[in-house]
Amino acid sequence: MADLATIERLTKSYAAARDELADAVKETNSELERIKRQKIPLLRRRTDAASNARAKLEAAIQESPQLFGRPKTLTLYGIRVGFQKGKGKIEISDPEVTIRLIRKHLPDLVDSLVKVEEKPVKAALNNLSTAELRKIGCTVTEAGDVVLIKATDGEIDKLVEALLKESDEAAQPEPAQAED
């Protein structure tokens, strides 16, 4: 069993390692921002050029439908061009009426055409007492004391915690998959 001096020493060690990681994260983010600032003008120019080239191609195809009778599309330079049947857009003015009509006219397809989703809201359930949770068939697990190790700084803490979680998850062995 560790004494308080050992816990203090280990906490100091963890805080130092965490600070070094936070510094590395800050340095990496600064470098990424510098690269973004450096490359954004180029990306904007290339995006504009691609957009303009696409608009010109679209206009040329639009004014030349006779070139795409059969087949309706061609693949040139890795780009498929031509015409295709429009997918259209489904508009539902009154979902309740549509559902009622599906049930009436397409009863065999109700399960695939109507989404029904009911599930408990865990955030709201967290506000209930343990007795209330038991009444509605819920059990509370792992509600005892748990180890807390949390830095008191803000955004850096969130990023560092996410990195540490990713590191922990990567270290976990993958569960064996059952064969079909």
Give the model confidence (pLDDT) of 78-94 as tens digits: 899 999 887 778 888 89
DSSP symbols for 24-43: HHHHHHHHHHHHHHHHHHHH
Using pLDDT thresholds of 50, 70 and 90, give the confidence band for residue 134: confident
- Residue extents of the structural domains in the chain: 4-88+119-167, 89-117
Q: What is the pLDDT of residues 22-68, one digit of tens each?
A: 899 899 999 999 998 999 899 889 989 999 999 999 999 999 999 98
* 166 neighbors 25 (Cβ within 8 angstroms): no
Q: Is the separation of the CB atoms in 115 and 104 below 8 Å?
A: no
Instruction: Tell me the whole-structure pTM to 2 decimals.
Output: 0.46
**Closest listed residue to residue 161, CA positions, set 57, 1, 2, 14:** 14
Q: Give the span between the Cα atoms of 30 and 24, in whole angstroms.
A: 10
From the centroid of its chain, how far is CA 178?
27
Strand 79-82 relative to strand 73-76: parallel, antiparallel, unpaired? antiparallel
